[in-house]
A = this chain, B = another copy of it.
C-alpha cells in the first residue's frame, strides 16, 4: 500500500468548487420548485422525462435509471405524483411484472406551468453565470464523467494494465 496520490492545489480547488456548487445549486432549485410549483426537484424531473418520452410513459426501472435514483425511491415518488393526479400507473402488456408510469394531462399542464420559473432559476444559478466557452467545457467534462460512471457500476480498478 503506497502513499495515496493526494490532490494537488488545482485538483483540490476543482473538487471543492464542484462540491460547493452542486450543493448550492441543488438547494436553490429545490427551494424554487417547492415554493413556486409545489414540486420537489425529483418530481419535476419525473415529469420532464415522461413528457419527453414517446407515449408519455416509461417503465419504472428505466425511469429510475434516468433519474439516478433507487427503485424504491421512485416507487415512493410515483405514488405521490399519482396521488396528486400528475401521473398514473399502467401495467405493461408484454410483461406482467412491468409497470409504466404515464404522465397525465394534468401532469403536462403542471409541467408547462412550472417550467418557465424553473428554467429561469437554472439560468440564474448556473447557465447565465458562465460564458458560452465555460459552459462548453463543463458540458464536455461532466458529460464524460457521467458516461463513465454510468458504464462502470463499480470496479476497484478496471484500468488496463499498461504496456
Residues A142 and B21 in contact, CB atoms below 8 Å apart = yes
Residues A134 and B141 in contact, CB atoms below 8 Å apart = yes
Interface centre among A5, A119, A142, A145, by most B CB within 10 Å? A142
Q: Evaluate whether A138 and B136 lie within 8 angstroms (CB atoms) in the complex, with A28-B149, A148-B129 already known.
A: no
Q: Evaluate whether A146 and B4 lie within 8 angstroms (CB atoms) in the complex, with A134-B137, A139-B10, A141-B137 already known.
A: no
Residues B134 and A18 in contact, CB atoms below 8 Å apart = no
Segment 103-141 of A: residues with Cβ below 8 Å from B? 115-116, 119-120, 122-123, 125-127, 129-130, 132, 134-141
Q: What residues make up the interface of A, taking CB atoms closer than 8 Å to B?
A: 4-7, 10-11, 13-15, 17-28, 31, 45, 67-68, 115-116, 119-120, 122-123, 125-127, 129-130, 132, 134-146, 148-150, 154
Residues A22 and B15 in contact, CB atoms below 8 Å apart = no
Q: Evaluate whether A146 and B15 lie within 8 angstroms (CB atoms) in the complex, with A140-B134, A141-B138 already known.
A: no
Task: Report which of B11, B31, B126, B136 forms a contact with A18, defined as CB distance below 8 A.
Answer: B126
Residues B24 and A22 in contact, CB atoms below 8 Å apart = no
A47 to B146 Cα, complex, angstroms: 28
